[in-house]
């Protein structure tokens, strides 16, 4: 059995993806040590892994994005995404590397498993030669001749002129839009004793992993003729429903309405005017039950009086709610989008920050919903998009087809098998040159 060191960013979406993979690895007899934020100790230990908290640097686990990084509050689009990668993921990496280096010396893992943005794990792999696995928390982030650079939210094109567009946009991204991020990546690598990689905007931070495990299916990803050979589509990182769910008092209302809409803004980006309040206003006149989840105590958001057709909770497990839903309205969190598609539920995505513009673009491209970019008059655009998706059968048909494909794959099991195979390629205690 393998000795595995797992490291994740201390954020809900990153931890939630890894929970199911770690649980599967432990159940198969592997020894797993999990490094992440203190707020996730109980969740990590419930998988059977040994928990090691972030000790060096900033542990932002348990905080909203606005609380942890207040300077990001007004940033959206590409600027917001760059700020997140620079400050949240890259800026915290050197301190986390100190922790992980000390752990690796004691634990001597066969393989390191991280989400794709825990760059400290990638640095450790380069410095020690321990193989690295990414268990993806989002869509495919790497460059391709057939797609625009990550973050632009543009659909793919492999035509002659499409590839010219992609090449021009890549130059603009590397030398203009993301020049700051590229320079910061070079400075950070120098701080930890690594040479610059001189690659694209998202490829010059760490070397590519031995395995890149995508928690999705090929039909939801853009076709690429130059997909990295270490990429594997393993299916959704979703586990079985737990037994601890207690239905709220209004749960019976789900069966007394012909249409149920679930509205969520995720667990991190909780500024209510970005989506929650405009969507609630847009949906107030809809002949449907609207179930809103806030990710934080609703009273902290000061949402005000709710329309009669709206029910608000901090959290309702997707396993229990989405089988009742006809539509998910979301800011594009990858976990929620994956859960919706696994259940065959179409979507309206109103994206603004982080990778969500790309996730929303994939939803629109796949035909499973509508993508609305941030901008003015969001309430009106949401109302029209919701009506369009609910009344146009092709969206539900496409979501159902994707759901069938998602449910045919056990993501955690497939990921665990591939991780074990990689770990088995090494002799115990072996160190490969960095």
- Identify the DSSP state of 208: P
Residue 267's pLDDT band (cuts 50, 70, 90): low
C-alpha pair distances (Å), 310 with each of 260, 343, 423: 10, 22, 49
Per-residue pLDDT averaged across 125-138, rounded?
A: 96
pLDDT at 432: 42
Residue 271's pLDDT band (cuts 50, 70, 90): confident
Per-residue pLDDT averaged across 304-314, rounded?
A: 92
Model confidence pLDDT, tens digit, residues 7-38: 999 988 899 999 999 999 999 999 999 999 99
Residue 431's pLDDT band (cuts 50, 70, 90): very low
Of 368, 366, 116, residue with least CA distance to 218? 366
Tokens of 303: 């949402």
Tokens of 148: 């625009």
Model confidence pLDDT, tens digit, residues 107-119: 999 999 999 999 9
State pTM to two decimals: 0.90
**Range of weakest confidence among 55-69, 305-319, 385-399:** 55-69
pLDDT at 296: 79
Under 8 Å between Cβ of 312 and 362: no
pLDDT at 310: 94
- Structure-model confidence comparison of residues 377 and 76, the more confident one: 377
Model confidence pLDDT, tens digit, residues 238-262: 987 766 788 999 999 999 999 999 9
Per-residue pLDDT averaged across 380-400, rounded?
A: 97
pLDDT at 78: 65
- Please check the confidence at residue 270 and state whether its pLDDT lies above 70: no
- Please check the confidence at residue 82 and state whether its pLDDT lies above 90: no
Percent of the residues in the chain that have a pLDDT greater than 70, as a whole number:
92
pLDDT at 58: 87
Per-residue pLDDT averaged across 339-348, rounded?
A: 97
- Structure-model confidence comparison of residues 245 and 383, the more confident one: 383
Of 333, 276, 357, 287, residue with least CA distance to 77? 357
Of 383, 371, 306, 295, residue with least CA distance to 337? 371
Output the average pLDDT for the chain. Answer: 90
Residue 298's pLDDT band (cuts 50, 70, 90): confident
- Structure-model confidence comparison of residues 239 and 98, the more confident one: 98
pLDDT at 425: 63
Residue 433's pLDDT band (cuts 50, 70, 90): very low
What domains can be seen in the chain, in order of their start residue? Answer: 3-235+410-423 (3.40.50.2000), 251-407 (3.40.50.2000)
- Identify the DSSP state of 322: G
> 266's torsion region: left (phi>0), alpha (psi -120 to 50) or beta?
left
Q: Return the top range by mean pLDDT from 82-91, 291-300, 333-342.
A: 333-342
């Amino acid at each position: 059995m393998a000795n595995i060191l797992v490291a994740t960013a201390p954020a809900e979406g990153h931890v939630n993806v890894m929970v199911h993979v770690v649980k599967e690895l432990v159940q198969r007899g592997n020894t797993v040590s999990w490094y992440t934020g203190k707020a996730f100790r109980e969740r990590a230990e419930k998988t059977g892994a040994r928990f090691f908290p972030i000790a060096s640097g900033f542990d932002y686990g348990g905080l909203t994005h606005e609380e942890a990084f207040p300077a990001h509050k007004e940033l959206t689009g590409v600027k917001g995404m760059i700020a997140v990668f620079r400050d949240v993921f890259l800026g915290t990496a050197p301190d986390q590397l100190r922790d992980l280096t000390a752990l690796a010396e004691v634990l001597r893992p066969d393989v390191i498993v991280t989400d794709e943005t825990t760059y400290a794990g990638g640095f450790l792999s380069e410095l020690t030669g321990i193989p690295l696995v990414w268990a993806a928390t989002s869509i495919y982030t790497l460059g391709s001749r057939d797609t625009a650079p990550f973050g632009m939210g543009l659909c793919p094109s492999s035509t002659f002129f499409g590839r010219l567009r992609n090449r021009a946009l890549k130059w603009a991204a590397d030398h203009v839009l993301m020049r700051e991020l590229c320079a910061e990546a070079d400075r950070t690598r120098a701080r930890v004793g690594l040479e610059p990689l001189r690659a694209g905007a998202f490829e010059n931070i760490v070397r590519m992993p031995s395995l890149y495990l995508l928690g999705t299916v090929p039909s939801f990803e853009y076709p690429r003729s130059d997909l990295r050979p270490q990429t594997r589509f393993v299916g959704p990182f979703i586990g079985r429903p737990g037994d601890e769910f207690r239905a709220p008092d209004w749960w019976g209302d789900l069966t007394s309405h012909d249409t149920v809409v679930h509205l969520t803004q995720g667990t991190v980006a909780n500024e209510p005017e970005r989506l929650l309040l405009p969507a609630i206003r847009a949906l107030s006149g809809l002949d449907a039950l609207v179930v809103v989840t806030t990710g934080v105590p609703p009273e902290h958001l000061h949402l005000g009086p709710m329309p009669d057709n709206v029910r608000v909770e901090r959290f309702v497990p997707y396993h229990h709610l989405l089988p009742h839903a006809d539509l998910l309205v979301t800011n594009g969190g990858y976990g929620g989008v994956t859960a919706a598609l696994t259940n065959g539920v179409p979507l309206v995505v109103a994206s603004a920050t982080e990778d969500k513009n790309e996730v929303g673009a994939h939803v629109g491209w796949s035909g499973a919903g509508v993508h609305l970019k941030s901008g003015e008059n969001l309430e009106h655009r949401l109302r029209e998009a919701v009506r369009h998706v609910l009344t146009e059968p092709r969206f539900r048909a496409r979501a159902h087809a994707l759901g069938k494909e998602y449910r045919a794959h056990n993501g955690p099991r497939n990921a665990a098998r591939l991780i074990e195979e990689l770990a088995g390629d090494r002799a115990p205690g072996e160190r490969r040159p960095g």
